[in-house]
């Protein structure tokens, strides 16, 4: 009986030693080997705390530039505030020439699925076209539309709808 218990414990220990850590998903920054790793720099976060961010990462884009622009109801034109964010994104992309991005187009819940997919595509392309006008190589920018399928704010209110009418720039060749 004791031999069986020791055998089971040994098998469990062996399996535990062979288990791998969490796998990287396409929502994580990086995904390359240690040799591909970029140096980490420190920046001061908005609340005065210190955090480390890898240059050229999604976190770097969000913290130092902004990753999203917003649109009016049934619109895909860029206003001054949106152009300002995209101006900063173009400068950031210029400073990080190896980075590619995917621009996701999103809509609020109103309208049909097909209509919102088309509107999301126009929103993503409006952001891409503006970045290209600013000198960003179009081969570094992919677009995808999610229409109304991925809201960031739930609810049927003006506030929720305004947050969902957006394009989001995501670092790397990901569509999620």
Q: Are 78 and 68 in contact (CB under 8 A)?
A: no
Q: How far is CA 132 from the centre of its chain?
A: 19
Could you give the CA distance from residue 114 to residue 39 in angstroms, rounded to a whole number? 43
What pLDDT is attached to residue 176? 39
143 DSSP β-pair partners: 103
pLDDT band at 1 (very low <50, low <70, confident <90, very high): low
Alpha helices (H) along 39-79 = 58-64
Rounded to the nearest 5°, which phi and psi values hold at 153? -125, 125
Q: What is the pLDDT of residue 12?
A: 44
Which residue, 72, 78, 93, 174, is CA-closest to 125?
Answer: 78
Taking residues 94-108, what's their average pLDDT?
97
The pLDDT tens digits of the residues spanning 56-88 come to 999 999 999 999 999 999 999 999 999 999 999
Of residues 1 and 104, which shows the higher confidence score? 104
The structural domains of the chain, ordered by start, are 35-171 (3.30.1330.60)
Give the whole-angstrom CA distance, residue 69 versus residue 63. 15
pTM above 0.85, yes or no: no
pLDDT in tens, 8-50: 545 444 444 444 333 333 333 333 333 333 333 333 445 554 5
Q: What is the mean pLDDT of residues 157-168?
A: 97
Nearest to 85 by CA among 108, 62, 60, 57: 62
Output DSSP code: residue 27: T
Q: What is the DSSP string of 87-131?
A: HHHHHHHHH-TT--EEEEEE--S-S-HHHHHHHHHHHHHHHHHHH
* Residues 103 and 146 sit within 8 Å (Cβ to Cβ): no
Cβ neighbour number for residue 114 with a 10 Å cutoff: 9
For residue range 120-148, list pLDDT tens digits in order: 999 999 999 999 999 999 999 999 999 99
Q: What is the mean pLDDT of residues 98-111?
A: 97
The predicted structure's pLDDT at residue 173:
53
């Amino acid at each position: 009986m004791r031999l069986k218990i020791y055998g089971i414990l040994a098998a469990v220990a062996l399996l535990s030693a062979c288990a791998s850590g969490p796998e990287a998903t396409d929502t994580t920054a990086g995904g390359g080997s240690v040799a591909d790793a970029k140096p980490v720099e420190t920046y001061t976060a908005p609340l005065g705390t210190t955090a480390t961010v890898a240059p050229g990462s999604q976190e770097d884009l969000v913290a130092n530039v902004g990753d999203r622009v917003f649109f009016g109801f049934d619109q895909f034109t860029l206003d001054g505030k949106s152009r300002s964010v995209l101006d900063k994104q173009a400068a950031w992309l210029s400073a990080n020439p190896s980075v590619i991005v995917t621009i996701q187009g999103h809509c609020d819940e109103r309208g049909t699925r097909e209509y919102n997919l088309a509107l999301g595509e126009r929103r993503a392309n409006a952001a891409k076209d503006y970045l290209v006008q600013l000198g960003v190589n179009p081969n570094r920018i992919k677009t995808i539309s999610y229409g109304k399928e991925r809201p960031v704010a739930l609810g049927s209110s003006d506030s929720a709808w305004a947050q969902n009418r957006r394009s989001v720039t995501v670092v790397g060749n990901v569509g999620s």
